Structure 1
């Protein structure tokens, strides 16, 4: 497939440089029509990434930390480490974070006007995307430290958030009196 794409590009670039005026116009049109959608989407993704740089860094950082802690857990605690399973797990986690994150950002985009609903949706959906790798990293840390860190109360708050999507789990005390 890549060789076909390269052949297409080379053929049309050569036609632009050596062909007749009509051939040059046709080649330029064919190249621009085939490449412009890719450039358009690449620009949109780049713009979104720069606008949300901190969010992207934290989510990718959570994936890296989770991968490292998960590797340690499987090497030293569970003693069942496999390079193949390790790489498959990493690819799954990155793939799911990217695809589900994309879908959640679509939900956030659909709600046009700024409102409480939009703000809440952005917070909840981004927390869900972040907590998928971060929650796994916290759990790996909990296992490695034999329940000493992070505190069990924090682990319980994460579990409740995953059930009810209530961001107040992290904002205020939720214990019953």
Structure 2
């Protein structure tokens, strides 16, 4: 009554040892193909991960930092609930995984259509990162009484969250003024 994998291997080895020529060939093919498929899938996942390793680590760290600072904030405000924390983190993690999957799918479709765009890739990754990272900064602002990050940074994050306009995160007046260290003009 062993495991299905052991039964599969034993039955095919018996067939190779004592079956007909066709049975031997088919059993050998099955024994070779099953691990090959598994290795092929494993190789694809490993390759995909290695190409995105840094971003995935940054995203995971931002989700963990968001969780830890959120717990800290709610403990200090005496509003901590383990159930709400667990539900909130589970939802954020699930939505992040779903968004990441669909953004990667969109990027793959665009790549297959020969429409590679670093701007789209960067925007989708920034959009996903901005959610937990923005919460981290807001929680830090609450925990430090508005000392860090400064209130103007938190206001820009709030404006970006409302409009989705990246210009809200930039200091446009200072960036468009000509300075002495800008030799192009």
Scaled by the length of structure 1, the TM-score of the pair is: 0.75
Gaps of 5+ in 2: 175-185
Cα distance 1:12–1:143, how it changes in 2: closer, same or farther (>3 A)? Answer: same
Q: Does 1:129 align with 2:144?
A: no
Aligned residues: 166
Say which structure, 1 or 2, has more relative contact order (CA 8 Å, 6+ apart).
1
Distance in 2 separating the partners of 1:18 and 1:99: 45
1:98-113 correspondence to structure 2 within 5 Å: 98-112=97-111, 113=114
Gaps of 5+ in 1: 1-5
Task: Tell me which structure has the larger Cα radius of gyration.
Answer: 2
Report Cα offsets for 1:88-136 as digits up to 9, x if no partner: 3222222221110111122222223466xx2221111101111121112
Q: Which residue of 2 aligns with 1:45?
A: 45
Q: Which residue of 2 aligns with 1:3?
A: none
Cα distance 1:156–1:23, how it changes in 2: closer, same or farther (>3 A)? Answer: farther
CA contact (8 A) 2:13 2:27 kept: no
After superposition, the CA RMSD in angstroms is 3.0
Distance in 1 separating the partners of 2:156 and 2:82: 32
Scaled by the length of structure 2, the TM-score of the pair is: 0.73
Report Cα offsets for 1:5-57 as digits up to 9, x if no partner: x8332220222333444278348628945982x65444333212211222111
Distance in 1 separating the partners of 2:24 and 2:100: 43
> What secondary structure sits across from 2:3 in the alignment?
helix
> What secondary structure sits across from 1:148 in the alignment?
coil
